[in-house]
Amino acid sequence: MHDASHAAWLLTAALLASVLGMAWLALAMPAHGQQVWGAPVSPERARVLRGLGSVALAVSLALCLASDHASMAALVWIMSLAAAAFLVAMTLAWHPRWLARLAPWAGRADTRATR
């Protein structure tokens, strides 16, 4: 086992990775892209956002597993997913443009498509 401060840092990083993952998965959805940037993201950029979101959630699970034994880590991971989903949902409800900072490249218009 790790000492308490090391486990706390791992769990904090896991929660941050969960929030990033949920935010990137949300930004990949057309409706949320519309909320954040005023237009849905392109299919290519949505694919990248989904990939980033999936990797971030996997990193979150790995960090939880590194901080505690598997049964407790799974419980903490699921709770962090729920908290992250709630945080992202509330951000989308009240200040959706704040999420644009997590993927500033995703909302830019593709200049080649408009020519």
Per-residue pLDDT reduced to its tens digit, 88-110: 999 999 999 999 999 988 876 55
Assess contact for 107 and 100: CB atoms under 8 A. Answer: yes
Q: Render 90-111 in DSSP notation, one character per residue.
A: HHHHH-GGGGGGG-TTTSS--H
pLDDT at 4: 85
Q: How distant, in Å, are the alpha carbons of 73, 74, 84 from that of 103?
A: 28, 28, 17
pLDDT at 23: 97
From the centroid of its chain, how far is CA 81?
9
Which residue type is seen at 19? V
pLDDT at 111: 38
pLDDT at 112: 43
Sequence spans of domains, the chain = 4-103
Q: Render 7-18 in DSSP notation, one character per residue.
A: HHHHHHHHHHHH
Which residue type is seen at 103? A
Given a cut of 80, whether residue 115 has pLDDT beyond it is: no
Per-residue pLDDT reduced to its tens digit, 9-45: 999 999 999 999 999 999 999 999 999 999 999 999 9
Give CA–CA dist 11/16, Å, rounded.
9
